[in-house]
Homo-oligomer: A and B are copies of this chain.
Amino acid sequence: MTDDPPFSPALLPAGFVDLLTPDARTEARGVATLMDVFASHGYDSVRPPLMEFEETYLAGAGVALAEQCFRVMDPDTRRMMVLRPDITPQIARMAATRVAGSPRPLRVSYAGPCVVVAPVAAEESSRQIMQTGIELIGPDSPEADAEVMSIGAEALMRLGVKDVSFDLTMPPFIPALLEEAGVPAAQRPALMRALDRKDAAAVAQHGGALAATLIALLDATGAAEHTVAQLAELTLPPKARIVLDRLIDTVAAVREICPALRMTVDPVEFRGWKYHTGVCVTLFAVGRSEELGRGGRYLCNDNEPACGLTLRPDVLFRMIPPTPARARVYLAADASRQEAAALRSQGYATVRGFASGAQAEAEARHLGCGIILSGTQRVDLA
């Protein structure tokens, strides 16, 4: 192309950023805090690689992410490799291979960057996303789902993120209901679209014999206990009832651990879930549109049940107070090395300078230092 605009040396591709101080520090500290909460519940960290063979990554859970993968050729094997857009499918692979023999329930945590071809949600612009999460592999029960969600809630509380809403869904429910109720295949797309848009009139139009039930489901959406009460009274075909009851049981199991958690339920939601097979959850801060995390139940590559939750430190760090920097001490040319080391061990940052006297004071201020160390003497700048 010859008509490209002049190229700025500062320009980064859309969705990729230079994170500066204090953001980089706040994010790194946030990741460490999250990983520490996960470790306190017995989740041991693993670190899968940034790239895998396409055939490996797109086997199992990863297949739904094919469109989100950047690909490059491995010059060694001439096979295609993908840059991971999501870590969970790597854990699903590991569970079936490297750690197939580890005792179950298997609890693992991870933290690392991922790259997606296009931002994952309309509210987002990032193409490099940071994931920090846990996976509980083996058990398939409401209690397992609740453990994962409650640890997520604790982690966010430790981080200082307030007013988080856990929005629960059951993506397989609506397809299961339409199937069991015998809604003709030709009718389903229009009905699914209507449900997705929460358009009660269109649901009434396309819902046939199910219309009243579906509208009751739409109406039920909201605060968890309200929804659960309404759902319990609904008449449903038996298989759909079992699927929905699992959602209800999970709400009860989460509530038992987290009495005060803000929790909503939308039994009709199914869109945007790629490889999930059971109860799913999306985390939002009240009044903000970006997702803080998401997770849910899926199957590992050998069909072993698993449940996970991934938090997004690159979103979260914008919602918490910046991690304070160490207070800075300017080391004049004659500063005692021993005293400087003592200050560092007390939590100060010492910044080596090459000036002394009045010049030292000017340079100290210039470099954000509130203290000067000269010899063994510490001078606090007013």
Q: Which residues of A contact B (CB under 8 A)?
A: 1, 7, 9-14, 16-25, 27-28, 32, 35, 39-42, 44-53, 55-56, 59, 70-72, 74-79, 81, 83, 90, 93-94, 96-99, 103, 105, 107-108, 110-113, 115, 117-118, 128, 139, 141, 143, 147, 257, 301, 325-326, 328, 337, 344, 348-352, 354, 366-368
Contacts and interface: CB of A to CB of B under 8 A. Distances in A.
Given A17-B49, A59-B9, A72 B72 contact: yes
A89 to B, nearest CB: 12
A21 B49 contact: no
B7 A24 contact: no
Contacts of A12: 49, 52-53, 56
A10 to B, nearest CB: 4
Contact of A45 (B25, B42, B75, B99): B25
Contacts of A93: 9-10
Given A49-B17, A97-B10, A113 B112 contact: yes
A144 to B, nearest CB: 9
Nearest to A106: B367
A76 B13 contact: yes
A16 to B, nearest CB: 4
28 contacts: A1-B78, A7-B53, A11-B53, A11-B56, A12-B52, A13-B52, A13-B76, A13-B79, A14-B77, A16-B51, A18-B48, A18-B94, A19-B47, A20-B46, A21-B45, A21-B108, A22-B44, A24-B110, A32-B32, A41-B350, A42-B328, A42-B351, A42-B367, A72-B83, A103-B366, A103-B368, A143-B354, A257-B337
A367 B103 CA distance: 6
A160 B181 CA distance: 65
Contact of A128 (B17, B49, B72): B49
A361 to B, nearest CB: 14
A51 B13 contact: yes
A29 to B, nearest CB: 9
A103 B369 CA distance: 12
Given A9-B97, A9-B301, 11 more contacts: A10-B56, A12-B56, A14-B77, A24-B45, A28-B35, A32-B32, A40-B348, A41-B352, A42-B349, A50-B128, A75-B118
A349 B9 CA distance: 48
Nearest to A98: B18
Contacts of A350: 40-42
Contacts of A105: 367
A98 to B, nearest CB: 5
A283 B345 CA distance: 25
Given A9-B96, A18-B49, A71 B72 contact: yes
A112 B115 CA distance: 14
A16 B49 contact: yes
B32 A44 contact: no
A22 B46 CA distance: 8
Contacts of A94: 18
A174 to B, nearest CB: 30
A20 to B, nearest CB: 6
Given A41-B351, A344-B40, A9 B56 contact: yes
